[in-house]
Amino acid sequence: MAEFEVTALGAGRYRVSDGTRQRLAYAAGPPHARWVFIDGHVYVIDVSGNRDSHTRRAHDDDMALASPMPATVASIHVSEGQAVSQGDLLVMLEAMKMELPIKAPRNGIVKAVACARGELVQPGVPLVELD
Amino acid sequence: MFRRLLIANRGEIAVRIIRACRELGVESVAVYSDADARALHVALADRVVRIGAAAPLHSYLSTDAILGAARESGAEAVHPGYGFLAESHTFAAACTDAGLTFVGPPAHVIARLGSKIAARQAATRAGIPVVPGETPADQRDVTIADAARRIGFPVLIKPSEGGGGIGMKTVRDAASLPAAIAQARREAAAAFGDGTLYVERLIERPRHVEVQVLLDRHGHAVHLFERECSLQRRHQKIVEEAPSTALTPRLRARMGDAAVTLARSAGYLNAGTVEFLLEGAGDTARFYFLEMNTRLQVEHPVTELTTGVDIVRAQIAIAAGEPLPWSQDDLTQRGHAIEARVYAEDPSRNDLPQAGSLLLYREPTMPGVRVDSGVVEGSDISVHYDPLIAKLIAWADTREGARARAIAALRSYPVLGVRTNIAFLIALLEHPAFVSGDIDTGLVESQRAALLTSATGDPPPEAIAVATHASGSAGPLDSASSTSADPWTTLQGWRG
């Protein structure tokens, strides 16, 4: 990777230079989800560097198995003990007149279903647990 | 002129109207729901009235709450903006009954033009071509299917009441009819409380071109030329421009005349927009009346920048009984304007609306660029309302100049904390079809994969360098960010 010189300019602004060409960048957010803007593009980068693979997997599961926003559970497509493959539809949510499928992020066994049909669910809370 | 005007809306359009009031020396009254107590429009208005809970039905859609706020604040007029109650004829009538001036056309005109059936009849009577279609009186599936066969495939099936593309289905053959009818009816009933369906011929590769009109109480009527609004996703516009690359001066004059004729014959007053589908381009192109929007349009700034007319100011002046200060011959189009709508949505997840706090938000300022927004750094984007954050409008003497300006401005528009479509908009403005001006309403969906590829991707090394360097300090809103972790913990996994 090329070496970049980064200078903090204050108020979330950074100058990033490769020695020849420089650009203005912006950054904000906590280390595990650092938002960076460069040239019209936004990236969310985890720079916390303190996660082992096991917690990372649990973390990724939680992300994939939770609703991204307040939503209503339209239907549940799996039950406890059921084997699922990556991409299988687990729960269908409904928010802002849109259907929002929650799919299995990996192969596994359904350990628990933590929501009920018609329930209003909040973001960040896993709706299904995978073993 | 009015002494005090209430704005029955929120977000960028409420801010836009407050600014017009300030120029006119009219006191502005903002209304707000519990979710908007700290919103920009509430901070900017001269007076504010809380009207209810976050859910629109209890606030921005509540006629009682808004009329109560008007009474309480002593407002003389109500500007509805767009969306919410802007096209509700019962709201317009309730304003009039309460002794308030509704900034818009008379209630009975909204009612007539708001019905697709009555609006088409009005257009046909005025001699303006319409797309072949009908609303079967008998709404059984089998009768709707018959109508589709009679009109000829491909057809569009859509709610008779409503708009915004909700419940609209394209059907290319008889076999797909039953499923499409059932789904359209379900969505129509859910969204508009009325499952009545309308069937029409689908015009292939159409452009969506609309004409802005203004009519005063003294019998004057003008049009402010066209807006090209073909770039849509899910039947909702994302990039608009004026003028349209498809119109010749002759076609422009014909469409302008048709729009004014229709508005006059319908007894229209104030600002309105006549939407047309355009088949082909140049002098031989055919245009069909689509519908009339009886309100201010989201994309009105491209007309303002190319004609020099402040449409919101004109609306308020017309409502106050003032005559239009120009005749048609005084009005010209100058240069080219392009608007890009910045939405809190994730294009890589089917434009899923996003919610959260704007950790960092800096609007670009440069010559020829205007940003109409309803947020500032630190604002919350709520799940309750339309995810439109801002509109970026670029003007230049040529289309290519406006395009370059819009792209340069979007490249200098950092929005962090909530995903937006900014990179997608840049990709769209750089797409060869947009560069050449050869666009149609299907372009965004047909090119979606290519646009996404150019709008998304792994972080480049300089982005990682900045992220790593920034680790010591978490940005300007560090203290706020540590208290509510939801937006980014959920958003982190969203890179598609």
User: What does the pLDDT look like over A40-51, one tens digit per residue?
Assistant: 999 999 988 765
Closest Cβ opposite residue B471 in set A31, A39, A43: A31
Cβ-Cβ contacts under 8 Å between A and B: the total is 171
Whether A84 and A126 share a structural domain: yes
Whether A125 and A72 share a structural domain: yes
CA-CA distance, A36 to A28, in Å (whole number)?
7
Q: What is the pLDDT of residue B238?
A: 97
Closest Cβ opposite residue B383 in set A8, A63, A69: A69
pTM, full prediction: 0.82
Give the model confidence (pLDDT) of B445-496 as tens digits: 999 999 999 999 899 999 999 999 876 544 454 433 333 333 443 343 343 3
Asked if the model's pLDDT at residue B267 lies above 70, the reply is yes
- A55 pLDDT tier (thresholds 50, 70, 90): low
Residue of A5, A37, A38 to mutate, testing the B interface (most B Cβ within 10 Å of its Cβ): A37
CA-CA distance, B105 to B270, in Å (whole number)?
6
- B chain contacts of residue A21, beta-carbon cutoff 8 Å: none
Minimum Cα–Cα distance from A56: chain B residue: B493
- A chain contacts of residue B463, beta-carbon cutoff 8 Å: 25, 36, 38, 41, 43, 45
- Reported residue count of chain B is 496
Q: Answer whether residue A120 is part of any domain.
A: yes
Judged by a CB distance cut-off of 8 A, whether residue A40 touches chain B is yes
Minimum Cα–Cα distance from A66: chain B residue: B490
Q: What is the pLDDT of residue B482?
A: 36
Asked if the model's pLDDT at residue A126 lies above 90, the reply is no
- For B468, the token pair is 């790593």
Asked if the model's pLDDT at residue A56 lies above 80, the reply is no
Q: Among residues 378-407 of chain B, which lie with CB inside 8 Å of chain A?
A: 383, 407
Angle subtended by helix axes B107-114 and B89-97, to nearest 10: 170
Whether A74 and A123 share a structural domain: yes
Whether A30 and A78 share a structural domain: no
CA-CA distance, A119 to A67, in Å (whole number)?
12
Judged by a CB distance cut-off of 8 A, whether residue A74 touches chain B is no
* Residues of the domain holding A112: 68-130
- Reported residue count of chain A is 131
Q: Answer whether residue A53 is part of any domain.
A: no
Residue B385: DSSP 8-state? S
Q: Answer whether residue A116 is part of any domain.
A: yes
Q: Answer whether residue A109 is part of any domain.
A: yes
Minimum Cα–Cα distance from B481: chain A residue: A29
Whether A90 and A122 share a structural domain: yes
Whether A79 and A111 share a structural domain: yes
Minimum Cα–Cα distance from A68: chain B residue: B490
CA-CA distance, B115 to B112, in Å (whole number)?
6
CA-CA distance, A40 to B364, in Å (whole number)?
11
Contact A100 B486 (CB under 8 A): no
ipTM: 0.83
Whether A79 and A126 share a structural domain: yes
Whether A41 and A77 share a structural domain: no
* Residue B38 C-alpha, separation from nearest chain A C-alpha, in angstroms: 21
Q: What is the pLDDT of residue A63?
A: 72
Closest Cβ opposite residue A29 in set B423, B465, B474: B474
Cβ proximity of B113 and B266 under 8 Å: yes
In 3D space, the residue among B172, B174, B173, B170 whose CA is nearest the CA of residue B184 turns out to be B170
Cβ proximity of B407 and A41 under 8 Å: no
CA-CA distance, B494 to B489, in Å (whole number)?
10
Whether A41 and A72 share a structural domain: no
> Taking residues B318-326, what's their average pLDDT?
98
Q: Answer whether residue A50 is part of any domain.
A: no
Q: Answer whether residue A32 is part of any domain.
A: yes
Whether A40 and A74 share a structural domain: no
- For B242, the token pair is 């004026």
Whether A75 and A113 share a structural domain: yes
Cβ proximity of A84 and A61 under 8 Å: no
What CATH number is given to the structural domain containing A107? Answer: 2.40.50.100
Whether A75 and A25 share a structural domain: no
- For B312, the 3-state DSSP assignment is helix
Number of domains composing chain A: 2
> Taking residues B389-397, what's their average pLDDT?
98
Beta bridge mates, B237:
B232
Q: What is the pLDDT of residue B197?
A: 93
- A chain contacts of residue B495, beta-carbon cutoff 8 Å: 44
Q: Answer whether residue A55 is part of any domain.
A: no
Closest Cβ opposite residue B489 in set A4, A26, A33: A33
Q: Answer whether residue A60 is part of any domain.
A: no
